[in-house]
Amino acid sequence: MSDQPQLTAEEHDRIRRMRWWHEAKFGLFIHWGLYSVIGRHEWAMEVEGIPVAEYEQLATRFTPKPHAARDWARLARRAGMKYMVMTTKHHEGFCLFDTQYTDYCAPKRACGRDLVAEYVEAARAEGLRVGFYYSLMDWHHPDGARCAQDEAARKRFVEYIHGQVRELCTNYGTLDILWYDVAWPLDADGWESAKMNRMVRELQPDIILNNRSRLPEDFSTPEQHIHAEAAGRAWEACMTMNESWGYHQSDDAWKTPKQIIRNLVTCARDGGNYLLNIGPKPDGSIPEPSIQILNAVGAWIDRNGETIYGAERCGVTSSLFANFTRKGNTLYVHAHFWPGESWSIAGLKTEVKSARLLRTGQSVAFEQTPFHVRLTGLPADAPDDPATVLALECASVPEQDMLAVRTGMPRGTV
């Protein structure tokens, strides 16, 4: 008899539903709404104290070009992304989809089109998985805040939210991800989250749900930082490319392609995914820096994608100039600060059988001691940019023991 605990039917189903997601590793987040017309941050309505009646007038100016999402999907595919998640309703309460619950939506205002339908068509045309973001918090709805103190308001508001979630899960074909956001001001019982999520799964049996309905569900969502969950728990770091989620015309704090690649590698190393955001302009066009950055990231992934897609949690993490990913017994060393012709990886407990430069296939000489693997005869300059990858074939799953290096007492050495 095996001592391993038996998986429940629910756990088996989660493994099945999430298999593609763990393989994918990299997705595109899209924050788009009326706030793009202002161009001053997606929280402008609240932070600037703009009254509802005044903010509503932005809907008359929100007239994006038809099928702008096709450019987003093409960029995502070029960047090496495998799925997309788009804001169907952000905190401002304006719906980009057709809904029977309010006329505060794109099809019934100046735009006159279902922008979510256009997005779904674009993603599927590029072979990308489809995700919907939906904000539970709503600054526009009259019950959005009072629901915390008024039971009648809570019931009305929960009916509104559940009704829109039902529409999203009914009207657009097969969905892959439902990404809730900001559950203020209610808890899971107040939102009736268990009931809502059962409904979602009945309508979309293969869907993946995040943890922001105040229930754990399928995966966790660290925001603007990378924080790995314990082994066995799925997670996805979501980040902006500058410092805003929505279009902010003055925000020039752009991450470099190297920063983004390092973040992606770290997520893949620690068993997570990386959801990277763009904030389209009000006409739906993508800010040029986002295009340039993602094209550079995609070019690198074209050469090095095998180190990211399907990567498994990696027990090698420590280096001053490199990061790591793993698939089976293969350790991928991502040198983002090229150290020159000879350098070492400390504390590698596992026997290394061979080493090669991924970009060129060139074999790399090495020697292994109880304290490090020393690589020699490397090019003086980095063969790839923004990071060069070495593939080390190991005799078993690679592990690192830095404590042994520090104490001078290596354990389990070759």
Kindly provide the b/e burial profile for residues 97-119, where b requires at least 16 CB atoms within 10 angstroms of the residue's own CB: bbbeebebbbbebebebbbbbbb
Domain containing 347 equals 322-407
For 37, residues 6+ apart whose C-beta sits below 8 A from its C-beta are 58, 61, 62, 282
Domain harbouring 23, CATH code: 3.20.20.80
pLDDT along the chain (414 residues), means of 10: 74 95 98 97 96 97 96 98 98 98 96 97 98 98 98 98 98 98 98 98 98 98 97 96 97 98 98 98 98 98 98 96 98 97 94 97 95 96 97 97 77 52
Total domains in the fold of the chain: 2
Q: How many Cα atoms are found within 13 Å in the side-chain-facing hemisphere of 406?
A: 5
pTM of the model: 0.96
Quick check: is 2 in a domain?
no
Judgement on whether residues 331 and 295 belong to the same structural domain of the protein: no
Judgement on whether residues 341 and 386 belong to the same structural domain of the protein: yes
Tell me the residue type at 186. Answer: L
* pLDDT value for 1: 46
Contact at 8 Å (CB) between 80 and 284? no
Judgement on whether residues 351 and 278 belong to the same structural domain of the protein: no
Number of helices (H) and strands (E) in the chain: give both, helices first: 12, 15
Judgement on whether residues 363 and 261 belong to the same structural domain of the protein: no
Of 263, 281, 307, at which residue does a domain stop?
Answer: 307
Judgement on whether residues 279 and 338 belong to the same structural domain of the protein: no
Quick check: is 151 in a domain?
yes
Closest CA to 83 of 24, 132, 171: 24
* pLDDT value for 413: 47
Q: Which residues pair with 208 in a beta bridge?
A: 177
* pLDDT value for 405: 75
Of 280, 307, 334, at which residue does a domain stop?
Answer: 307
Judgement on whether residues 301 and 336 belong to the same structural domain of the protein: no
Judgement on whether residues 242 and 335 belong to the same structural domain of the protein: no
Q: Is 22 helix (H, G, I), strand (E, B) or coil?
A: helix
Judgement on whether residues 109 and 245 belong to the same structural domain of the protein: yes
